[in-house]
Amino acid sequence: MTAFDDLMSFQRETEALAQIAGRLGWDQETVMPRGSAEQRGEEMAAMESVLHARRTDPKLVDWLAAAETPDAAGNRALDLISRSYLKNARVPAKLATEIARVTSVAQGVWADARENNDVAAFLPTLENVVGLIREKGQALADGGDAYDALLDDYEPEASGADIAAMFDAMRSRLVALREAVLGAAHQPAALTGTFPQAGQMDLAREVADAFGYDWTRGRLDLAVHPFSSGSGNDVRITTRVAEQDPFNCVYSTIHEVGHACYELGIDQAYLLTPLGQGVSMGVHESQSRIYENQMGRSRAFTEWLMGRMQAKFGDFGAASADAFYATVNKVHRGYIRTEADEVQYNLHIMLRFDLERDLVAGRLGVKDLEEAWNTRFLGDFGYAVDKPANGILQDVHWSCGLIGYFPTYSLGNLYAGCLHQALRQAVPDLDASLARGDARPATDWLRARLQQHGGLRMPAATIEHACGFAPSAEPLLAYLEQKFRAIYRL
Amino acid sequence: MTAFDDLMSFQRETEALAQIAGRLGWDQETVMPRGSAEQRGEEMAAMESVLHARRTDPKLVDWLAAAETPDAAGNRALDLISRSYLKNARVPAKLATEIARVTSVAQGVWADARENNDVAAFLPTLENVVGLIREKGQALADGGDAYDALLDDYEPEASGADIAAMFDAMRSRLVALREAVLGAAHQPAALTGTFPQAGQMDLAREVADAFGYDWTRGRLDLAVHPFSSGSGNDVRITTRVAEQDPFNCVYSTIHEVGHACYELGIDQAYLLTPLGQGVSMGVHESQSRIYENQMGRSRAFTEWLMGRMQAKFGDFGAASADAFYATVNKVHRGYIRTEADEVQYNLHIMLRFDLERDLVAGRLGVKDLEEAWNTRFLGDFGYAVDKPANGILQDVHWSCGLIGYFPTYSLGNLYAGCLHQALRQAVPDLDASLARGDARPATDWLRARLQQHGGLRMPAATIEHACGFAPSAEPLLAYLEQKFRAIYRL
- Is B216 in Cβ contact with A34 (below 8 Å)? yes
The Cα–Cα gap between A358 and B13 comes to 36
B38 chain-A contacts, CB cut-off 8 A: 233
- pLDDT for the residue A142: 87
The reply to whether B151 falls in a domain is no
pLDDT for A205 beyond 80? yes
- pLDDT for the residue B100: 87
pLDDT for A327 beyond 80? yes
User: Could you tell me if A97 and A208 lie in one domain?
Assistant: no
B31 chain-A contacts, CB cut-off 8 A: 31, 219
pLDDT for A446 beyond 90? yes
Tell me which residue of B267, B258, B229, B280 sits closest to B457, measured CA to CA: B280
User: Could you tell me if A139 and A184 lie in one domain?
Assistant: no
Best A11, A42, A59 member to test B by mutation, with max B CBs in 10 Å, is A42
- pLDDT for the residue A348: 95
- pLDDT for the residue A333: 85
| Chain B nearest-CA residue for A24 | B20
Task: Quickly state the pLDDT bin for A1 (edges 50, 70, 90).
Answer: confident
- pLDDT for the residue A332: 87
The reply to whether B152 falls in a domain is no
Q: Quote the strand ranges of B164-283, DSSP E.
A: 220-222, 228-229, 236-239
Mean per-residue pLDDT of chain A: 95
The reply to whether B300 falls in a domain is yes
Q: Which residues of A152-165 are buried (b: 16+ CB within 10 A; e: fewer)?
A: bbbbbebebeebee
Number of Cβ within 10 Å of residue A384's Cβ equals 11
Which of A16, A43, A217 is opposite residue B19, by nearest beta carbon? A43
The Cα–Cα gap between A113 and B295 comes to 42
Beta bridge partner(s), residue A228: A237
Q: In Å, how far are A321, A395, B65, B70, B78 from B4, measured between CA atoms?
A: 72, 43, 10, 9, 9
What are A93-152's pLDDT values in tens digits?
Answer: 899 889 988 998 998 899 999 999 999 999 999 999 999 999 999 999 989 999 999 999
Structural domain ending residue among the three candidates B85, B112, B144: B144
- pLDDT for the residue B339: 83
User: Could you tell me if B100 and B213 lie in one domain?
Assistant: no
pLDDT for A454 beyond 90? yes
- pLDDT for the residue B322: 97
pLDDT for A382 beyond 90? no
Which of A42, A50, A217 is opposite residue B33, by nearest beta carbon? A217
CB A342 within 8 A of CB A485: no
What are B91-140's pLDDT values in tens digits?
Answer: 998 998 899 889 989 988 999 999 999 999 999 999 999 999 999 999 99
The Cα–Cα gap between B192 and A131 comes to 64
Total of domains in chain A: 2
- pLDDT for the residue B297: 98
pLDDT for A255 beyond 80? yes
Task: Quickly state the pLDDT bin for B75 (edges 50, 70, 90).
Answer: very high
- pLDDT for the residue A175: 85
The Cα–Cα gap between B417 and B234 comes to 29
Q: Is A436 strand, coil or helix? A: coil
Q: Which residues contact A271 (CB under 8 A, 6 or more apart)?
A: A232, A233, B39
What are B256-288's pLDDT values in tens digits?
Answer: 999 999 999 999 999 999 999 999 999 999 999
Task: Quickly state the pLDDT bin for A271 (edges 50, 70, 90).
Answer: very high
B45 chain-A contacts, CB cut-off 8 A: 16
- Is A232 in Cβ contact with B272 (below 8 Å)? no
| Chain A nearest-CA residue for B14 | A46
The Cα–Cα gap between A96 and A404 comes to 17
Q: At what angle do helices A37-55 and A3-30 cross, to 10 degrees?
A: 160
Say which amino acid occupies A71. D
The reply to whether B154 falls in a domain is no
Best A39, A217, A222, A236 member to test B by mutation, with max B CBs in 10 Å, is A39
Q: Is A228 strand, coil or helix? A: strand
What are A36-68's pLDDT values in tens digits?
Answer: 999 999 999 999 999 999 999 999 999 999 999
User: Could you tell me if B83 and B135 lie in one domain?
Assistant: yes
Taken in order A249, A250, A252, A257, the sign of the CA dihedral is positive
A35 chain-B contacts, CB cut-off 8 A: 214, 216-217, 233
pLDDT for B1 beyond 80? no
Structural domain ending residue among the three candidates A105, A131, A151: A151
pLDDT for B332 beyond 90? no
> What is the ipTM for the molecules in this complex?
0.88
User: Could you tell me if B130 and B166 lie in one domain?
Assistant: no
- B residues 261..280 contacting A (CB < 8 A): 271-272
pLDDT for A25 beyond 80? yes
DSSP letter at A353? H
- pLDDT for the residue B431: 98
Task: State mean pLDDT over B355-372.
Answer: 96
> Torsion angle, CA of A300/A302/A303/A307, rounded to 10 degrees?
150
User: Could you tell me if A137 and A173 lie in one domain?
Assistant: no
Structural domain ending residue among the three candidates A127, A151, A175: A151
- B residues 9..48 contacting A (CB < 8 A): 12-14, 16-17, 19-20, 23-24, 27, 31-36, 38-40, 42-43, 45-47
The reply to whether B97 falls in a domain is yes
User: Could you tell me if B191 and B323 lie in one domain?
Assistant: yes
- Is A38 in Cβ contact with B217 (below 8 Å)? no
pLDDT for A390 beyond 80? yes
Tell me which residue of B318, B296, B312, B317 sits closest to B203, measured CA to CA: B312
Tell me which residue of B355, B335, B345 sits closest to B403, measured CA to CA: B355
What are B444-461's pLDDT values in tens digits?
Answer: 999 999 999 999 999 999
User: Could you tell me if B183 and B210 lie in one domain?
Assistant: yes
User: Could you tell me if B139 and B179 lie in one domain?
Assistant: no
What are B288-317's pLDDT values in tens digits?
Answer: 999 999 999 999 999 999 999 999 999 999
User: Could you tell me if A91 and A165 lie in one domain?
Assistant: no
Nearest chain B CA: its distance from A46 CA (Å) = 5
Taken in order A32, A38, A44, A47, the sign of the CA dihedral is negative
- Is B43 in Cβ contact with A19 (below 8 Å)? yes
- Is A46 in Cβ contact with B16 (below 8 Å)? yes
Tell me which residue of A275, A356, A357 sits closest to A84, measured CA to CA: A275
- pLDDT for the residue A359: 96
Task: State mean pLDDT over B12-30.
Answer: 96
Kindly report the CATH number assigned to the domain that includes residue B329.
Answer: 1.10.1370.30
- pLDDT for the residue A224: 84
Task: Tell me, yes or no, if A95 comes closer than 8 A to chain B by beta carbon.
Answer: no
Interface size between A and B, measured as CB pairs under 8 A: 103
User: Could you tell me if B138 and B164 lie in one domain?
Assistant: no
Task: Tell me, yes or no, if B219 comes closer than 8 A to chain A by beta carbon.
Answer: yes
User: Could you tell me if B365 and B423 lie in one domain?
Assistant: yes
Q: Phi first, then psi: what are they for A483, rounded to 5°?
A: -65, -50
What are A419-438's pLDDT values in tens digits?
Answer: 999 999 999 999 999 999 99
Sheet holding B220-222, edge to edge: B220-222, B236-239, B228-229
CB B264 within 8 A of CB B218: yes
Which of B35, B47, B236 is opposite residue A20, by nearest beta carbon? B47
CB A20 within 8 A of CB B24: yes
pLDDT for A18 beyond 80? yes
The reply to whether B153 falls in a domain is no
Domain that holds residue B183: 160-487
The Cα–Cα gap between A96 and A118 comes to 28
Task: Quickly state the pLDDT bin for A474 (edges 50, 70, 90).
Answer: very high
